[in-house]
Amino acid sequence: MKILFVHPHGNNWLTGVTDITTIFNLMPPLGILSIAAWLEKHGVDVEILDCYANPEPPETIVRRIAATGCDAVGLSCTTSSFPEGYRIVSLLKERHPGITVVVGGAHACTIGPPLLDTHPAIDCLVIGEGENTMLDLANAGFRGIDKIPGVAYRDSQGKGVLSSHRELISNLDDLPFPAYHRLTDFPKRYKLPLFSYPTFPNTSIISSRGCPYSCSYCDRSVFSRGFRFNSPDYILEHVAMLNKDYGIRHVFFYDDLFTFDRKRVAEFCELKEKKNIHVTYNCIARLEHVDAELLSLLKRSGCWQVNFGIESGDPEVLKKHRKFYGLDEVGQKLAMVKKSGMRVKGLFMVGLPGEDEAAIRRTIDYALTLPLDEINVTKFTPFPGAPVYQNIRDFGEFNEEWELMNCINTVFVPNGMTRLQIDDLYDEFISCFYRRRRIHWGYTKMLWQSPHSIYSFLRNLPAILAFEAKQKW
Protein backbone atom coordinates (compact mmCIF):
# COMPACT_ATOMS: atom_id res chain seq x y z
CA MET A 1 0.00 0.00 0.00
CA LYS A 2 1.39 3.36 -1.06
CA ILE A 3 -0.21 6.65 -0.06
CA LEU A 4 0.59 10.04 -1.55
CA PHE A 5 -0.33 13.07 0.56
CA VAL A 6 -1.14 16.26 -1.32
CA HIS A 7 -1.21 19.76 0.16
CA PRO A 8 -3.15 21.97 -2.32
CA HIS A 9 -2.04 25.52 -2.89
CA GLY A 10 -5.32 27.42 -3.16
CA ASN A 11 -3.91 30.45 -4.99
CA ASN A 12 -6.53 32.97 -3.95
CA TRP A 13 -4.82 35.58 -1.81
CA LEU A 14 -6.55 38.70 -3.13
CA THR A 15 -8.90 38.66 -6.09
CA GLY A 16 -7.06 40.00 -9.15
CA VAL A 17 -3.71 40.36 -7.33
CA THR A 18 -0.68 38.08 -7.73
CA ASP A 19 -0.05 36.03 -4.59
CA ILE A 20 3.39 36.93 -3.21
CA THR A 21 2.88 35.48 0.26
CA THR A 22 4.87 32.29 -0.30
CA ILE A 23 7.94 34.38 -1.10
CA PHE A 24 8.04 35.54 2.51
CA ASN A 25 6.05 33.02 4.51
CA LEU A 26 6.00 29.30 3.80
CA MET A 27 5.60 26.89 6.68
CA PRO A 28 5.61 23.09 6.31
CA PRO A 29 2.23 21.27 6.36
CA LEU A 30 2.68 19.87 9.85
CA GLY A 31 -0.59 17.93 9.94
CA ILE A 32 0.32 15.94 6.84
CA LEU A 33 3.89 15.46 8.08
CA SER A 34 2.67 14.02 11.38
CA ILE A 35 0.32 11.53 9.69
CA ALA A 36 3.02 10.56 7.19
CA ALA A 37 5.53 9.92 10.00
CA TRP A 38 3.02 7.76 11.88
CA LEU A 39 2.30 5.69 8.77
CA GLU A 40 6.02 5.32 8.00
CA LYS A 41 6.61 4.09 11.55
CA HIS A 42 4.09 1.31 10.88
CA GLY A 43 5.56 0.27 7.53
CA VAL A 44 3.30 2.15 5.11
CA ASP A 45 4.98 3.60 2.01
CA VAL A 46 4.27 7.36 1.84
CA GLU A 47 5.18 10.38 -0.26
CA ILE A 48 4.23 14.05 0.04
CA LEU A 49 3.47 16.57 -2.71
CA ASP A 50 3.38 20.07 -1.22
CA CYS A 51 1.73 22.16 -3.93
CA TYR A 52 1.83 25.20 -1.66
CA ALA A 53 5.62 25.15 -1.85
CA ASN A 54 5.64 24.20 -5.55
CA PRO A 55 2.39 25.40 -7.19
CA GLU A 56 1.57 23.80 -10.53
CA PRO A 57 -1.56 23.43 -12.73
CA PRO A 58 -3.93 20.56 -11.84
CA GLU A 59 -2.97 18.69 -15.04
CA THR A 60 0.70 18.66 -14.01
CA ILE A 61 -0.14 17.62 -10.46
CA VAL A 62 -2.28 14.72 -11.71
CA ARG A 63 0.60 13.52 -13.89
CA ARG A 64 2.91 13.67 -10.88
CA ILE A 65 0.43 11.72 -8.77
CA ALA A 66 0.07 9.01 -11.40
CA ALA A 67 3.84 8.73 -11.79
CA THR A 68 4.23 7.75 -8.13
CA GLY A 69 2.19 4.59 -8.62
CA CYS A 70 0.25 5.30 -5.44
CA ASP A 71 -2.82 3.33 -4.37
CA ALA A 72 -4.45 6.25 -2.56
CA VAL A 73 -4.21 10.03 -2.39
CA GLY A 74 -4.82 11.90 0.86
CA LEU A 75 -5.56 15.62 0.69
CA SER A 76 -5.54 18.00 3.64
CA CYS A 77 -7.57 21.11 2.83
CA THR A 78 -8.55 24.36 4.42
CA THR A 79 -11.84 25.89 3.31
CA SER A 80 -10.10 28.17 0.80
CA SER A 81 -7.84 25.44 -0.65
CA PHE A 82 -10.60 22.84 -0.94
CA PRO A 83 -11.91 23.99 -4.38
CA GLU A 84 -8.44 23.67 -5.91
CA GLY A 85 -7.93 20.33 -4.18
CA TYR A 86 -11.21 19.09 -5.59
CA ARG A 87 -10.26 20.21 -9.11
CA ILE A 88 -7.15 18.06 -8.78
CA VAL A 89 -8.95 14.93 -7.58
CA SER A 90 -11.79 15.34 -10.10
CA LEU A 91 -9.26 15.25 -12.91
CA LEU A 92 -7.43 12.40 -11.19
CA LYS A 93 -10.61 10.31 -10.99
CA GLU A 94 -11.35 10.92 -14.67
CA ARG A 95 -7.94 9.63 -15.72
CA HIS A 96 -7.16 7.14 -12.94
CA PRO A 97 -10.42 5.98 -11.33
CA GLY A 98 -8.70 3.16 -9.45
CA ILE A 99 -6.84 5.53 -7.13
CA THR A 100 -8.69 6.04 -3.84
CA VAL A 101 -9.21 9.67 -2.79
CA VAL A 102 -9.34 10.58 0.91
CA VAL A 103 -9.81 14.14 2.16
CA GLY A 104 -9.10 15.42 5.67
CA GLY A 105 -8.19 18.68 7.32
CA ALA A 106 -10.24 21.57 8.63
CA HIS A 107 -12.76 21.80 5.79
CA ALA A 108 -13.63 18.10 5.73
CA CYS A 109 -14.05 18.08 9.50
CA THR A 110 -16.31 21.14 9.57
CA ILE A 111 -18.61 20.15 6.69
CA GLY A 112 -18.52 16.47 7.57
CA PRO A 113 -20.37 13.65 5.72
CA PRO A 114 -22.59 16.02 3.63
CA LEU A 115 -19.46 16.99 1.70
CA LEU A 116 -19.64 13.56 0.04
CA ASP A 117 -23.17 14.26 -1.23
CA THR A 118 -21.96 17.03 -3.52
CA HIS A 119 -18.40 15.93 -4.39
CA PRO A 120 -18.45 12.50 -6.08
CA ALA A 121 -14.70 12.37 -6.80
CA ILE A 122 -13.98 11.92 -3.08
CA ASP A 123 -14.21 8.35 -1.79
CA CYS A 124 -14.15 9.09 1.93
CA LEU A 125 -13.28 11.71 4.56
CA VAL A 126 -11.14 11.55 7.66
CA ILE A 127 -13.07 13.31 10.45
CA GLY A 128 -10.92 14.53 13.35
CA GLU A 129 -7.34 13.54 14.11
CA GLY A 130 -5.80 11.74 11.16
CA GLU A 131 -2.95 9.51 12.34
CA ASN A 132 -4.79 6.42 13.55
CA THR A 133 -7.66 6.72 11.09
CA MET A 134 -5.32 6.83 8.09
CA LEU A 135 -3.31 3.93 9.48
CA ASP A 136 -6.46 1.83 9.88
CA LEU A 137 -7.58 2.73 6.35
CA ALA A 138 -4.18 1.78 4.92
CA ASN A 139 -4.06 -1.53 6.83
CA ALA A 140 -7.57 -2.35 5.63
CA GLY A 141 -6.70 -1.53 2.04
CA PHE A 142 -9.56 1.02 2.14
CA ARG A 143 -12.08 -1.81 2.43
CA GLY A 144 -14.71 -2.17 5.13
CA ILE A 145 -14.29 1.49 5.99
CA ASP A 146 -17.72 1.64 7.65
CA LYS A 147 -16.14 -0.26 10.56
CA ILE A 148 -13.25 2.20 10.97
CA PRO A 149 -13.89 5.04 13.48
CA GLY A 150 -13.43 8.61 12.26
CA VAL A 151 -14.42 7.98 8.62
CA ALA A 152 -17.21 9.55 6.58
CA TYR A 153 -18.31 7.29 3.70
CA ARG A 154 -21.31 6.72 1.43
CA ASP A 155 -23.98 4.29 2.61
CA SER A 156 -25.94 1.93 0.34
CA GLN A 157 -28.14 4.84 -0.79
CA GLY A 158 -25.07 6.91 -1.71
CA LYS A 159 -25.53 9.35 1.18
CA GLY A 160 -22.59 10.55 3.25
CA VAL A 161 -22.59 9.13 6.80
CA LEU A 162 -20.11 8.92 9.70
CA SER A 163 -18.86 5.50 10.79
CA SER A 164 -18.32 6.48 14.44
CA HIS A 165 -16.26 9.00 16.38
CA ARG A 166 -12.54 8.40 16.75
CA GLU A 167 -11.01 8.70 20.22
CA LEU A 168 -8.30 11.34 20.44
CA ILE A 169 -4.67 10.32 20.97
CA SER A 170 -4.15 10.57 24.72
CA ASN A 171 -0.35 10.83 24.73
CA LEU A 172 1.07 12.97 21.92
CA ASP A 173 4.59 11.87 22.85
CA ASP A 174 3.73 8.51 21.26
CA LEU A 175 3.86 10.19 17.84
CA PRO A 176 7.17 10.37 15.96
CA PHE A 177 8.52 13.73 14.88
CA PRO A 178 6.94 15.04 11.65
CA ALA A 179 8.33 13.59 8.39
CA TYR A 180 10.24 16.71 7.35
CA HIS A 181 12.47 14.48 5.21
CA ARG A 182 9.53 13.91 2.85
CA LEU A 183 9.46 17.59 1.81
CA THR A 184 11.34 18.69 -1.30
CA ASP A 185 14.11 21.17 -0.47
CA PHE A 186 13.45 21.38 3.26
CA PRO A 187 14.37 23.61 5.03
CA LYS A 188 15.73 25.93 2.31
CA ARG A 189 12.38 26.38 0.53
CA TYR A 190 10.49 27.03 3.78
CA LYS A 191 10.64 30.16 5.93
CA LEU A 192 8.74 32.01 8.61
CA PRO A 193 7.08 35.41 7.98
CA LEU A 194 9.49 38.14 6.94
CA PHE A 195 11.10 40.01 9.87
CA SER A 196 9.72 37.55 12.41
CA TYR A 197 12.96 35.63 12.96
CA PRO A 198 16.59 36.48 13.76
CA THR A 199 18.27 33.60 11.93
CA PHE A 200 17.83 31.23 9.01
CA PRO A 201 17.07 28.40 8.33
CA ASN A 202 13.94 28.27 10.45
CA THR A 203 10.66 26.39 10.66
CA SER A 204 7.52 25.84 12.71
CA ILE A 205 6.51 23.30 15.35
CA ILE A 206 3.16 22.41 16.89
CA SER A 207 3.54 21.01 20.41
CA SER A 208 -0.11 20.84 21.54
CA ARG A 209 -3.60 20.16 20.21
CA GLY A 210 -6.99 21.55 21.12
CA CYS A 211 -8.20 24.65 22.96
CA PRO A 212 -10.46 24.94 26.02
CA TYR A 213 -11.65 28.44 25.13
CA SER A 214 -14.76 29.16 23.07
CA CYS A 215 -14.13 32.26 20.95
CA SER A 216 -17.00 32.80 18.51
CA TYR A 217 -14.80 32.81 15.40
CA CYS A 218 -12.66 29.70 16.04
CA ASP A 219 -13.33 26.24 14.65
CA ARG A 220 -12.28 23.36 16.90
CA SER A 221 -13.67 20.51 14.80
CA VAL A 222 -10.33 18.72 14.22
CA PHE A 223 -8.84 18.59 17.73
CA SER A 224 -11.89 19.57 19.84
CA ARG A 225 -11.94 21.85 22.88
CA GLY A 226 -9.70 19.75 25.10
CA PHE A 227 -6.00 20.49 25.52
CA ARG A 228 -3.27 17.90 25.01
CA PHE A 229 0.41 18.58 24.70
CA ASN A 230 3.88 17.17 24.21
CA SER A 231 6.11 16.92 27.25
CA PRO A 232 9.02 19.35 27.72
CA ASP A 233 11.52 16.52 27.02
CA TYR A 234 9.78 15.63 23.74
CA ILE A 235 9.68 19.27 22.61
CA LEU A 236 13.35 19.77 23.37
CA GLU A 237 14.28 16.57 21.50
CA HIS A 238 12.22 17.83 18.56
CA VAL A 239 14.07 21.16 18.53
CA ALA A 240 17.43 19.43 18.93
CA MET A 241 16.66 17.06 16.03
CA LEU A 242 15.77 19.97 13.73
CA ASN A 243 19.00 21.72 14.68
CA LYS A 244 21.18 18.62 14.26
CA ASP A 245 19.61 17.12 11.11
CA TYR A 246 18.57 20.26 9.22
CA GLY A 247 20.60 23.11 10.72
CA ILE A 248 17.47 24.87 12.01
CA ARG A 249 18.41 27.90 14.12
CA HIS A 250 14.99 29.33 14.95
CA VAL A 251 11.52 27.81 15.40
CA PHE A 252 8.00 29.16 15.74
CA PHE A 253 5.76 27.29 18.17
CA TYR A 254 2.57 27.58 16.16
CA ASP A 255 0.38 26.34 19.01
CA ASP A 256 -2.74 28.37 19.74
CA LEU A 257 -1.90 28.15 23.44
CA PHE A 258 1.81 27.49 23.90
CA THR A 259 1.75 29.12 27.36
CA PHE A 260 -1.52 27.57 28.59
CA ASP A 261 0.06 24.94 30.84
CA ARG A 262 2.41 26.97 33.03
CA LYS A 263 4.26 23.95 34.47
CA ARG A 264 5.03 22.57 31.00
CA VAL A 265 6.36 25.91 29.73
CA ALA A 266 8.51 26.45 32.83
CA GLU A 267 10.02 22.96 32.57
CA PHE A 268 10.72 23.42 28.85
CA CYS A 269 12.40 26.79 29.38
CA GLU A 270 14.54 25.51 32.26
CA LEU A 271 15.49 22.35 30.36
CA LYS A 272 16.37 24.26 27.19
CA GLU A 273 18.50 26.70 29.14
CA LYS A 274 20.23 23.84 30.98
CA LYS A 275 20.92 21.85 27.79
CA ASN A 276 22.20 25.02 26.08
CA ILE A 277 20.58 24.29 22.72
CA HIS A 278 21.30 27.29 20.48
CA VAL A 279 17.92 27.62 18.78
CA THR A 280 15.81 30.71 19.34
CA TYR A 281 12.02 30.68 19.07
CA ASN A 282 8.74 32.58 18.79
CA CYS A 283 5.48 31.60 20.45
CA ILE A 284 1.84 32.62 20.75
CA ALA A 285 0.57 33.54 24.21
CA ARG A 286 -2.67 34.70 25.77
CA LEU A 287 -2.52 37.89 27.79
CA GLU A 288 -4.09 36.12 30.78
CA HIS A 289 -0.98 33.93 31.10
CA VAL A 290 1.61 36.72 31.08
CA ASP A 291 3.51 37.78 34.16
CA ALA A 292 7.09 38.85 34.93
CA GLU A 293 8.21 35.36 35.99
CA LEU A 294 6.96 33.71 32.79
CA LEU A 295 8.53 36.40 30.61
CA SER A 296 11.88 35.95 32.34
CA LEU A 297 11.73 32.20 31.67
CA LEU A 298 10.86 32.74 28.00
CA LYS A 299 13.61 35.30 27.45
CA ARG A 300 16.33 33.28 29.18
CA SER A 301 15.48 30.18 27.14
CA GLY A 302 15.79 32.00 23.80
CA CYS A 303 12.34 33.39 23.05
CA TRP A 304 12.70 36.15 20.47
CA GLN A 305 9.09 37.21 19.78
CA VAL A 306 5.70 36.70 21.41
CA ASN A 307 2.46 36.97 19.41
CA PHE A 308 -0.84 37.95 21.02
CA GLY A 309 -4.38 37.70 19.68
CA ILE A 310 -5.81 41.12 20.53
CA GLU A 311 -8.50 41.11 17.80
CA SER A 312 -10.29 44.38 18.62
CA GLY A 313 -9.89 47.63 20.54
CA ASP A 314 -13.63 47.97 21.15
CA PRO A 315 -14.73 46.55 24.53
CA GLU A 316 -18.26 45.74 23.41
CA VAL A 317 -17.05 43.84 20.35
CA LEU A 318 -14.62 41.82 22.46
CA LYS A 319 -17.32 40.88 24.98
CA LYS A 320 -19.40 39.38 22.17
CA HIS A 321 -16.67 37.25 20.65
CA ARG A 322 -14.10 36.11 23.20
CA LYS A 323 -13.14 36.12 26.86
CA PHE A 324 -12.99 39.78 27.83
CA TYR A 325 -9.89 41.48 29.25
CA GLY A 326 -9.34 45.10 30.16
CA LEU A 327 -7.83 47.10 27.32
CA ASP A 328 -5.63 49.04 29.75
CA GLU A 329 -4.20 45.76 30.98
CA VAL A 330 -3.27 44.76 27.43
CA GLY A 331 -0.92 47.71 27.06
CA GLN A 332 0.66 46.97 30.44
CA LYS A 333 1.26 43.31 29.58
CA LEU A 334 2.73 44.14 26.16
CA ALA A 335 5.04 46.73 27.78
CA MET A 336 6.28 43.98 30.11
CA VAL A 337 7.16 41.81 27.13
CA LYS A 338 9.02 44.67 25.46
CA LYS A 339 10.86 45.49 28.68
CA SER A 340 11.99 41.88 28.96
CA GLY A 341 13.76 42.26 25.58
CA MET A 342 11.42 40.33 23.28
CA ARG A 343 9.56 41.57 20.22
CA VAL A 344 5.77 41.82 20.30
CA LYS A 345 3.33 41.09 17.48
CA GLY A 346 -0.38 41.87 17.70
CA LEU A 347 -3.07 39.94 15.82
CA PHE A 348 -6.25 41.83 14.87
CA MET A 349 -9.47 41.28 12.92
CA VAL A 350 -11.78 43.73 11.16
CA GLY A 351 -15.40 43.21 10.14
CA LEU A 352 -16.56 41.14 13.12
CA PRO A 353 -20.32 40.72 13.60
CA GLY A 354 -21.60 43.75 15.50
CA GLU A 355 -18.78 46.04 14.35
CA ASP A 356 -19.37 49.34 12.60
CA GLU A 357 -16.96 51.93 11.24
CA ALA A 358 -16.64 53.64 14.62
CA ALA A 359 -15.72 50.34 16.32
CA ILE A 360 -13.06 49.54 13.72
CA ARG A 361 -11.61 53.04 14.03
CA ARG A 362 -11.44 52.53 17.79
CA THR A 363 -9.40 49.39 17.10
CA ILE A 364 -7.05 51.28 14.78
CA ASP A 365 -6.55 54.10 17.27
CA TYR A 366 -6.06 51.60 20.07
CA ALA A 367 -3.47 49.57 18.14
CA LEU A 368 -1.43 52.73 17.55
CA THR A 369 -1.13 53.26 21.32
CA LEU A 370 0.27 49.77 21.98
CA PRO A 371 4.01 48.94 22.15
CA LEU A 372 3.81 46.57 19.17
CA ASP A 373 6.66 45.87 16.77
CA GLU A 374 4.36 44.53 14.07
CA ILE A 375 0.77 43.50 13.45
CA ASN A 376 -1.18 41.01 11.43
CA VAL A 377 -4.67 42.12 10.37
CA THR A 378 -7.20 39.71 8.91
CA LYS A 379 -10.76 40.13 7.70
CA PHE A 380 -13.26 38.23 9.79
CA THR A 381 -14.29 35.03 7.99
CA PRO A 382 -17.14 32.83 9.31
CA PHE A 383 -15.76 29.33 8.87
CA PRO A 384 -18.07 26.31 9.06
CA GLY A 385 -17.58 24.81 12.50
CA ALA A 386 -17.09 28.12 14.31
CA PRO A 387 -19.91 28.92 16.78
CA VAL A 388 -20.78 32.18 15.01
CA TYR A 389 -21.31 30.39 11.69
CA GLN A 390 -24.67 28.92 12.72
CA ASN A 391 -26.56 32.22 12.52
CA ILE A 392 -24.03 34.44 10.78
CA ARG A 393 -26.51 35.80 8.24
CA ASP A 394 -28.45 37.44 11.08
CA PHE A 395 -25.49 39.79 11.52
CA GLY A 396 -24.65 40.75 7.96
CA GLU A 397 -24.08 39.73 4.36
CA PHE A 398 -22.07 36.55 3.89
CA ASN A 399 -20.67 35.43 0.54
CA GLU A 400 -19.90 31.78 1.27
CA GLU A 401 -17.57 31.26 -1.66
CA TRP A 402 -15.06 28.79 -0.24
CA GLU A 403 -12.18 29.76 -2.50
CA LEU A 404 -12.27 33.34 -1.17
CA MET A 405 -12.47 32.36 2.50
CA ASN A 406 -8.82 32.92 3.41
CA CYS A 407 -9.20 35.86 5.86
CA ILE A 408 -7.84 38.32 3.28
CA ASN A 409 -10.76 38.60 0.88
CA THR A 410 -13.88 40.31 2.23
CA VAL A 411 -16.60 37.67 2.42
CA PHE A 412 -18.59 39.01 5.38
CA VAL A 413 -19.97 42.54 5.74
CA PRO A 414 -21.62 43.43 9.09
CA ASN A 415 -25.08 45.00 9.08
CA GLY A 416 -24.87 48.72 8.45
CA MET A 417 -21.53 48.56 6.63
CA THR A 418 -20.43 48.11 3.01
CA ARG A 419 -17.73 45.97 1.45
CA LEU A 420 -15.89 49.12 0.37
CA GLN A 421 -15.85 50.37 3.97
CA ILE A 422 -14.30 47.13 5.20
CA ASP A 423 -11.66 47.17 2.47
CA ASP A 424 -10.81 50.83 3.03
CA LEU A 425 -10.58 50.47 6.80
CA TYR A 426 -8.42 47.36 6.44
CA ASP A 427 -6.00 49.24 4.17
CA GLU A 428 -6.07 52.27 6.48
CA PHE A 429 -5.27 50.10 9.51
CA ILE A 430 -2.15 48.64 7.92
CA SER A 431 -1.06 51.97 6.46
CA CYS A 432 -1.48 53.90 9.72
CA PHE A 433 0.48 51.33 11.69
CA TYR A 434 3.42 50.77 9.37
CA ARG A 435 3.94 54.31 8.11
CA ARG A 436 5.22 55.63 11.41
CA ARG A 437 8.77 56.62 12.27
CA ARG A 438 8.93 54.28 15.26
CA ILE A 439 8.06 51.30 13.07
CA HIS A 440 10.48 52.41 10.34
CA TRP A 441 13.26 52.63 12.91
CA GLY A 442 12.32 49.19 14.19
CA TYR A 443 12.77 47.73 10.72
CA THR A 444 16.02 49.62 10.28
CA LYS A 445 17.34 47.75 13.32
CA MET A 446 16.48 44.53 11.50
CA LEU A 447 19.64 45.05 9.45
CA TRP A 448 21.47 43.35 12.29
CA GLN A 449 18.57 41.70 14.15
CA SER A 450 17.22 39.76 11.14
CA PRO A 451 19.73 40.05 8.27
CA HIS A 452 18.19 37.21 6.24
CA SER A 453 14.87 39.09 6.21
CA ILE A 454 16.58 42.16 4.78
CA TYR A 455 18.28 40.01 2.13
CA SER A 456 14.99 38.33 1.20
CA PHE A 457 13.18 41.67 1.12
CA LEU A 458 15.72 43.27 -1.22
CA ARG A 459 15.94 40.20 -3.46
CA ASN A 460 12.17 40.28 -3.97
CA LEU A 461 11.79 44.06 -4.08
CA PRO A 462 10.38 44.12 -7.66
CA ALA A 463 7.50 41.83 -6.65
CA ILE A 464 6.83 43.95 -3.56
CA LEU A 465 6.79 47.19 -5.56
CA ALA A 466 4.44 45.66 -8.13
CA PHE A 467 2.08 44.66 -5.36
CA GLU A 468 2.35 48.08 -3.68
CA ALA A 469 1.44 49.79 -6.94
CA LYS A 470 -1.92 47.99 -6.94
CA GLN A 471 -2.79 48.97 -3.37
CA LYS A 472 -4.34 52.15 -2.02
CA TRP A 473 -1.92 52.51 0.86
Q: Write the pLDDT tens digit of every residue in 82-107.
A: 999 999 999 999 999 999 999 999 99
> 191-469: same fold as 2-162?
no
Does this model's pTM top 0.75? My answer is: yes
Rounded Cα–Cα distance for residues 111 and 127 (Å)? 10
Rounded Cα–Cα distance for residues 245 and 177 (Å)? 12
CB neighbours of residue 301 within 10 Å: 22
Rounded (5°) CA angle 378-259-442: 55
E strand map for 220-276 = 228-229, 250-253
Count Cα neighbours of 379 within 13 Å in the Cβ-side half-sphere: 23
- Measure the CA dihedral 381/384/387/388, to 10°: 40
pLDDT tens, the chain, 473 aa long: 999 999 999 765 555 566 667 777 899 999 999 999 999 999 999 999 999 998 899 999 999 999 999 999 999 999 999 999 999 999 999 999 999 999 999 999 999 999 999 999 999 999 999 999 999 999 999 999 999 999 999 999 999 999 999 999 999 999 999 999 999 999 999 999 988 999 999 999 999 998 877 788 887 777 666 789 999 999 999 999 999 999 999 999 999 889 989 999 999 999 999 998 999 999 999 888 889 999 999 999 999 999 999 999 999 998 888 876 788 889 999 999 999 999 999 999 999 999 999 999 999 999 999 999 999 999 999 999 888 999 999 999 999 999 999 999 999 999 999 999 999 999 999 999 999 999 989 888 888 888 888 888 888 777 767 666 655 44
Give me the architecture of the 2-162 domain, per CATH: 3-Layer(aba) Sandwich (3.40)
Rounded Cα–Cα distance for residues 237 and 349 (Å)? 35
Delimit the domains of the chain by residue range. 2-162, 191-469
The residues that bridge with 251 in the sheet, in sequence order, are 203, 281
What does the radius of gyration of the chain's CA atoms come to, in whole angstroms? 22
Write down the H helix ranges in 140-248.
232-246
Q: Write the pLDDT tens digit of every residue in 114-129.
A: 999 999 999 999 999 9
Q: What is the pLDDT of residue 473?
A: 45
Closest CA to 125 of 141, 146, 140: 146
Q: What superfamily would CATH give domain 191-469?
A: tm_1862 like domain (3.80.30.20)
Closest CA to 30 of 4, 1, 5, 13: 5
The Cα-based distances of 69 to 65, 66, 90, 93, 122 in angstroms read 7, 6, 18, 14, 19
Rounded Cα–Cα distance for residues 81 and 98 (Å)? 24
